[in-house]
Chain A
Amino acid sequence: MPEPVRAIVPGVATGEVVVLDEPLSFWGGLDPETGRLIDTHHPQAGVTLMGRVLAMPSGRGSSSSSYVLAEAIRAGTAPIAVVLGEADAIVALGAIVAAELYGIEVPVVVTPALDLVSGRIVTVRARADGRAEIELV
């Protein structure tokens, strides 16, 4: 049995998957004005994360990443869901603050398998009780 998908921030979203090969720090890595990946050290610099289901192995770097994620969610430039290989409090906090402050829910889920493929359309469903599913559309 594969490990189940866990919800760490609830919400529901459907969109195109973008898989990042390396972890991204939103601070210095996500431009909240454009929704683009701007970390020049990252192999996928330049891709757009706006409106997509972002999948990456883990969070990385500065604790200011919570602020940058919340700001991007407010501005409508953020990913619509985040799928992580391991739990990350900094990513979770950014989504929690946006939900509490603006009522915009960006689900954050953890799945150690992280077997998503860029370009596919999926629905991420994360529940308040910690259960979650990722379904191909």
Chain B
Amino acid sequence: MPGALSLTDDDRATLDGARGEAARFAMRILTRTAGAMGAARLLDVTSAHIDGCLYHGRAGLDFARRLADDGARVTVPATLNVSSLDLLHPELVHLDPVIAADARAMMDAYVSMGCRPTWTCAPYQLPERPGLGEHVAWAESNAIVFANSVLGARTGRYGDFIDICCAITGRAPAAGLHLDEERRARTVFRVGGIPDALLDDEAAYAAIGHLVGRATGNAVPAIVGLPSNATEDHLKALGAAAASSGAVAMFHAVGVTPEAPNLDTATGGGEPTLDMAIGPTELRAARDELSTVGVGAAVGSVSLGTPHCSVAELGRLAELVEGRRLAVPCFVNTGRDVAAEAPDLIAVLREAGVSIVTDTCTYITPIIERAATPVVTNSGKWAWYAPGNLGFDVAFATLKECVDSAVAGRLVRDPEAWGDA
């Protein structure tokens, strides 16, 4: 409620303009929003990840310009999320030139405030990242869920506008997942009976995440039964899918993620409101729910890397495509820093005809043309959003199925992987 927020002398000085007009404006937006959230106070953050650089219309440009023109500077390290453009491969994006110019101006405004031009939705793949218990202000649903769950850092569900206000002031509302009691699991999911080969693939984790998100809504879930050697790429796929099909901003993988050595610790001893089993049947159902076309259907392209591919994922893809001829276009989204780290893998992928997309993503800006559909993807998030956002048919598949489908030009299923009868 407005009025319940208590500010430090420092916060009040910023609000009174002692640090300049831009900081005053940022603090004003922040305190009004903190009031609406019912926060009792603000707290310090050590980094920010800014999602406001993706263009959805004039208001975002007006907002960024207002701050930049008033001399705004970030006071904590701030990375930038994907934009509407691929600055390294501009020929890939078919955006209206007027919109592209505004999108570029907005990106420039954020860079001028001192944000790092990382243009990635996977800031956790960069060398500097927050540790256990560290308060940060991260935006972008997959980055938020990864920071809270896998890194054990603490961020609320921040997004456009508030992200840069936190970065300028170095403060965030002390609410939501910043607080211990909000981080406890209230639902439990028990994974069992999934073939080992499938549990080696990100698609299994995306399917689990999809199911968890659908069932848990905005409650923090605890997932029991994931292998202790689940990789960050696996957990990334799970979190991104859960944050798309549901409002999941944090999950516990018992025995895997840092705040869940066991189920009791994850739930804080509380009784779960939901206890659900996830086995091969549920995984196949999730796969089919995320697909609008079936096995054998002609496919137009393949899209990978939502969220952005890591070096390890680029490596797996390179192994699968090397020496093969792709019948349809294949796009892989990745961060420019990750691509720069792995020039040899990028060369192998290009040689095989894979298009490398950086700085943006194929589900938020026009890259794939309608003629190149249906699209096969291993991303639960892409498969969830694309039919609505882009009006495209889609098939959700393992990485190997994606590559086999790209070679065949039709949807190839691996019945052994999914345990189809």
Interface residues of A (CB under 8 A from B): 6-9, 27-28, 32, 39-41, 60-68, 70-71, 73-75, 87, 89-90, 92-93, 96-98, 100-102, 108, 128-130
- Interface assignment of B400: CB less than 8 Å from any CB of chain A: no
Given contacts A39-B388, A93-B161, A97-B161, contact A67 B60 (CB under 8 A): yes
Contact of A96 with B160 in the complex, beta carbons under 8 Å: no
CB distance from A29 to the nearest CB of B (A): 9
Cross-chain contact A61 with B389 (CB below 8 angstroms): no
- Chain B 40-93 residues near chain A, CB threshold 8 A: 51-52, 54, 56-60, 62-63, 66
With a CB–CB cut-off of 8 A, which chain A residues contact B38? Answer: 87
Determine the distance from Cα of A27 to Cα of B388 in the docked complex, in whole angstroms.
Answer: 11
Question: Does B158 touch A at the CB level, under 8 Å?
Answer: yes
Q: How far is the CA of A6 from the CA of B4 in the complex (A)?
A: 13
- Per-residue CB proximity of B1-38 to A under 8 Å, as 1/0? 11100000000000000000000010011001101111
Task: Find out whether the CB atom of B57 lies under 8 angstroms from the CB atom of A71.
Answer: yes
Determine which residue in B51, B52, B63, B385 has the highest number of CB atoms from chain A within 10 A of its CB, and name it. B63
Known pairs A64-B51, A129-B3; A90 contacts B385 (CB<8 A): no
CA distance A8 to B159 in the complex (A): 18
Cα(A60)–Cα(B56), bound, Å: 18
Asked if A96 meets B59 with Cβ closer than 8 Å, knowing A6-B1, A66-B162, the reply is no
B247 beta carbon closer than 8 Å to chain A: yes
* Bound-state Cα–Cα, A98 to B385, Å: 27
| Residues of chain B whose beta carbon lies under 8 Å from any beta carbon of chain A | 1-3, 25, 28-29, 32-33, 35-38, 51-52, 54, 56-60, 62-63, 66, 139-141, 157-162, 247, 385, 388-389
A93 near B33 (CB under 8 angstroms)? Answer: yes
**Bound form: Cα–Cα A39–B391 in Å:** 11
CA distance A71 to B32 in the complex (A): 19
Of chain A, the residue at the smallest CB distance from B1 is A130
B35, B51, B62, B389: which contacts A101 (Cβ < 8 A)? B62
> Inside 8 A of B51's CB, which chain A residues have their CB?
63-64
Once the chains bind, are A27 and B59 in contact (CB under 8 Å)?
A: no
Complex CA gap A130/B4 in Å reads 10
Residues in B whose Cβ lies below 8 Å from that of A8: 1-2, 35-36
Knowing A28-B385, A129-B2 are in contact, say whether A89-B37 is a contact too (CB < 8 A).
yes
Report yes or no: B36 in contact with A70, Cβ–Cβ below 8 A: no
A64 B160 Cβ-Cβ under 8 A = yes
Closest 9 CB pairs of A and B: A63-B159, A71-B57, A92-B36, A67-B160, A71-B59, A8-B36, A70-B59, A89-B37, A74-B59
Task: Give the docked Cα–Cα distance between A34 and B139 (Å).
Answer: 28
CB distance from A98 to the nearest CB of B (A): 7
Complex: A102 Cα to B28 Cα, angstroms: 15
User: A127: nearest residue on chain B (CB-CB)?
Assistant: B2
Q: Could you say which residues of chain A place their CB within 8 Å of the CB of B158?
A: 63
Please tell me if the beta carbons of A101 and B59 are within 8 angstroms of each other in the complex.
yes
* A41/B33 in contact, CB under 8 A: no
B107 to chain A, nearest CB (A): 15
